[in-house]
């Protein structure tokens, strides 16, 4: 029996490519060229499966040009690069990589919050520029994390991980808002209290965004929401670009309406709103919250295992639209 044909859309660990090659006929973009829509469609036209990342858009137009495609395995927990309705209609299974990145991403979210609160980026730039010539009582004096109120918008696995770190490690008061309230046992484990979104914004000393991106969460934090926050508060976004109105945030930071922000994700990334590059009180990182070697390897392996499981057993480990299987 002929092996299924797989396209690996971006560079990935060589051992993952070797693993896939044991099961499939593999074409891999190890040069890591970011493919436009037409280029991606050309590569997938004769492929049975795809190993994708968040930069690879899979929609109805692409699927119409790729009639053999049966599965796209995303090396990411997010999947807003997938048009799930179009994929399901054509019987193309979508998978992602949940759970394996939860603790690493929570680590990073907490680190970014601390760097933001304690003004680490500002102070490093100051030092590197040779401006540090003496001690002063208020030099880069930021805000405390221990004992402060941690607000979390979006209380899934990663939000819960951040809550546990804050409550158990730093004695923080944890409040959260979510589409649905957590069960009592999970709230107790996280020492977290459910509040309205308005109360969350008004009360949090440090607000961390961990909600999924959708049409309803677009600009969930804009000028009006920032206006409810304390002028001493910090805002951290490790969720998705588009959840925050980056232009409104840059203006608020410039005007001192909140103290600082830490951003790992951006609207239109890898482009960053130019105003964010000119305000000093923001920590900027290039979407690296899950970027530890063990975690990225685990993500890649899970994406690969989804492909192996599908073509060997007709199912997947972490399907996003299992109803697509009924089309086969």
Told to judge if 328 belongs to the known catalytic residues of this protein, a careful annotator would answer no
Is residue 304 classed as helix, strand or coil in its secondary structure?
A: helix
Told to judge if 206 belongs to the known catalytic residues of this protein, a careful annotator would answer no
Whether the CB-CB separation of 11 and 33 falls below 8 Å is answered with no
Single out the catalytic residue among 10, 165, 240, 296.
240
Whether the CB-CB separation of 88 and 108 falls below 8 Å is answered with no
Is residue 73 classed as helix, strand or coil in its secondary structure?
A: strand
Single out the catalytic residue among 157, 219, 257, 287.
287
Q: What is the total residue count of the chain?
A: 328
Single out the catalytic residue among 25, 189, 199, 269.
269
- Using CA atoms, how far apart are residues 288 and 320, in angstroms rounded to an integer? 23
Told to judge if 179 belongs to the known catalytic residues of this protein, a careful annotator would answer no
- Using CA atoms, how far apart are residues 264 and 244, in angstroms rounded to an integer? 11
Spatial CA neighbour of 103 closest among 175, 157, 53: 157
Is residue 235 classed as helix, strand or coil in its secondary structure?
A: strand
Active site residues: 240, 269, 287
């Amino acid at each position: 029996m002929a092996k299924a044909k797989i396209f690996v859309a971006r560079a990935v660990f060589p051992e993952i490519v070797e693993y896939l090659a044991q099961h499939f006929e593999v074409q891999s973009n190890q040069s890591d060229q970011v493919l436009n829509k037409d280029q991606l469609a050309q590569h997938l036209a004769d492929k049975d499966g795809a190993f994708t990342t968040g930069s690879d858009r899979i929609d109805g137009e692409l699927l119409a040009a790729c009639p053999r495609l049966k599965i796209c395995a995303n090396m990411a927990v997010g999947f807003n690069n997938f048009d799930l309705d179009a994929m399901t209609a054509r019987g193309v299974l979508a998978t992602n990589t949940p759970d394996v990145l939860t603790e690493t991403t929570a680590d990073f979210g907490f680190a970014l919050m601390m760097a933001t609160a304690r003004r680490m980026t500002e102070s490093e730039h100051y030092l590197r520029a040779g401006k540090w010539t003496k001690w002063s009582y208020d030099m880069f004096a930021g805000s405390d994390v221990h004992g402060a109120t941690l607000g979390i918008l979006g209380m899934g696995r990663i939000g819960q991980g951040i809550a546990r770190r804050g409550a158990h490690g730093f004695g923080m008061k944890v409040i959260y808002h979510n589409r649905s309230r957590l069960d009592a046992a999970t709230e107790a484990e996280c020492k977290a209290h459910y509040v309205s979104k308005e109360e969350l914004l008004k009360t949090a000393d440090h607000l961390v965004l961990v909600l999924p991106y959708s049409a309803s969460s677009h600009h969930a934090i804009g000028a009006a929401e920032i206006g409810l926050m304390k002028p001493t508060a910090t805002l951290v976004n490790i969720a998705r670009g588009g959840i925050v109105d980056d232009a409104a945030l840059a203006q608020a930071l410039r005007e001192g309406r909140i103290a600082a922000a830490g951003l790992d994700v951006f609207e239109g990334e890898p482009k960053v709103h130019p105003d964010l590059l000119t305000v000093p009180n923001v920590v900027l990182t290039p979407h690296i919250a899950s970027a530890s070697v063990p975690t990225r390897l685990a993500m890649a392996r899970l994406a690969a295992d989804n492909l192996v499981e599908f073509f060997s057993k007709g199912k997947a480990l972490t399907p996003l639209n299992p109803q697509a299987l009924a089309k086969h």
